[in-house]
């Protein structure tokens, strides 16, 4: 495994290990895998190619060239509804912070991907299922606004169960807020690229997830508007094979490409370099 990059060492907090087990079981083919090996395999099952869900920190390690300068890292959510169901929202987010080592469900910052400077946001499913509340909406908006000021491309890696229920309409309105930021950014003529990873649904897919100039889906991800269970309960008929998979979306014209995890960084680099290419080189 590659040595821990400086930005990660500086950042300090790492998530608590979910368990001390040396093994992970592939949820797709049940293969027993050495945890130690998994990182080197980019958290991809060598037997069936299944992509394990990975943390935002690991994702950034996979994509960023070297340094990642995090911004807005201290934003913490409030509790606008003073929400409680089985437990309080405050308790839930405190648990998520410990479990994920993150302040919220997204990390945003600036780095280079395959040599191209970008603003990068990476969502983390381990924090409230990657749901979008005030902080996710604010950080995505801040990132896009700052990319506009610095005239940099914006890249967001999505992993989300949708709008965060515990923040009610304040969460739903983050769809409007981020959409407004994307709309403004689009007028600047700067590229916006999203990478949809497992899972990307609901409020995130129905806002910035699908507003990008180029939409890349990581292979084997579940992507859609409604959750599978909701659709099941509504239509009560068998869902087609591979329904809402990345490959299904490509076939139905919803994403530009499906890319394996190992190819994500070079693919992003290629796309970003094209957008950055100067018109000066007009062929004679």
Partner 1 sequence: MNVIVELEKPLLELESKIEGLKRLNETQRVDFSVEIRALEAKANQLKAEIFGNLTPWQRVHLARHPRRPLALDYITALDGFTELHGDRTFRDDPAIVAGFAYLSGMPVYVLGEQKGRDTKENLYRNFGMPHPEGYRKAQRIMKLAEKFRRPLLTFVDTPGAYPGIGAEERGQSQAIAACLQLLAGLRTPIVVNVTGEGGSGGALGIALGDHIIMLQHAWYSVASPEAAASILWSDATKADEAAKRLRLTSEELSEFGIIDEVVAEPLGGAHHDTQDVIRRILDADKRAVRRLMRLPTDELIDRRYEKYRKIGAHTELLHGRAAR
Among 176, 242, 262, 270, binds partner 1 (CB under 8 A): 176
Structure tokens at 217: 């889906």
Q: Nearest CA to 224 among 193, 202, 242, 253?
A: 202
What three-state secondary structure class fits 102?
coil
CB of 244 to partner 1, least distance (A): 6
CB of 177 to partner 1, least distance (A): 4
Is 22 a binding residue for partner 1 by CB under 8 A? The answer is no
CB of 218 to Zn ion, least distance (A): 15
Q: Which does 134 bind (CB under 5 to 8 A by kind): Zn ion, partner 1, none?
A: partner 1
* Beta bridge mates, 23: 34
CA-CA distance, 76 to 83, in Å (whole number)?
A: 16
Candidates 44-52, 61-69, 112-120, 209-217; binding stretch for partner 1 (CB under 8 A): 209-217
CB of 23 to Zn ion, least distance (A): 13
Q: What part of residues 43-82 is at the interface with partner 1 (CB under 8 A)?
A: 72-81
Q: Which does 47 bind (CB under 5 to 8 A by kind): Zn ion, partner 1, none?
A: Zn ion
Distance from the first to the final alpha carbon of the chain = 47
The answer to whether the beta carbons of residues 161 and 201 sit under 8 Å apart is yes
For residue 145, which phi and psi values (nearest 5 degrees)?
Answer: -60, -45
Instruction: Identify the sign of the CA torsion 110, 113, 118, 124.
Output: negative
Is 100 a binding residue for partner 1 by CB under 8 A? The answer is no
Q: What part of residues 264-283 is at the interface with partner 1 (CB under 8 A)?
A: none
Toward Zn ion, which CB reaches closer, 28 or 35? 28
Toward Zn ion, which CB reaches closer, 50 or 53? 50
CB of 30 to Zn ion, least distance (A): 7
Q: Residue 264 contacts by C-beta under 8 Å, 6 or more apart in sequence?
A: 62, 63, 195, 216, 218
């Amino acid at each position: 495994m590659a040595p821990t990059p400086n930005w990660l060492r500086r950042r300090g907090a790492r998530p608590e290990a979910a368990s001390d087990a040396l093994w992970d079981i592939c949820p797709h083919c049940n293969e027993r895998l050495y945890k130690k090996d998994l990182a080197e395999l980019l958290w991809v099952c060598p037997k069936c190619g299944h992509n394990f869900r990975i943390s935002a920190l690991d994702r950034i390690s996979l994509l960023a060239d070297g340094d990642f300068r995090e911004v807005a890292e201290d934003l913490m959510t409030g509790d606008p509804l003073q929400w409680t169901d089985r437990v309080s929202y405050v308790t839930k987010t405190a648990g998520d912070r410990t479990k994920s080592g993150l302040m919220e469900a997204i990390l945003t910052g600036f780095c280079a991907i395959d040599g191209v400077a970008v603003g990068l946001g990476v969502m983390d499913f381990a924090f409230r299922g990657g749901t979008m509340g005030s902080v996710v909406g604010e950080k995505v908006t801040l990132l896009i606004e700052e990319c506009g000021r610095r005239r940099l491309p914006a890249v967001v890696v999505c992993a989300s169960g949708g709008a965060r229920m515990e923040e009610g309409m304040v969460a739903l309105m983050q769809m409007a807020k981020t959409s407004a930021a994307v709309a403004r950014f689009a007028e600047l003529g700067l590229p916006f690229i999203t990478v949809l990873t497992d899972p990307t649904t609901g409020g995130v897919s129905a806002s910035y997830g699908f507003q990008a100039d180029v939409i890349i889906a990581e292979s084997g991800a579940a992507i859609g508007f409604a959750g599978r269970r909701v659709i099941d309960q509504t239509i009560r008929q068998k869902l087609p094979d591979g329904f809402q998979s990345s490959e299904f979306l490509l076939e139905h014209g919803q994403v530009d490409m499906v890319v394996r995890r190992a190819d994500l960084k070079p693919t992003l680099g290629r796309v970003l370099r094209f957008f950055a290419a100067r018109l000066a080189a007009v062929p004679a």
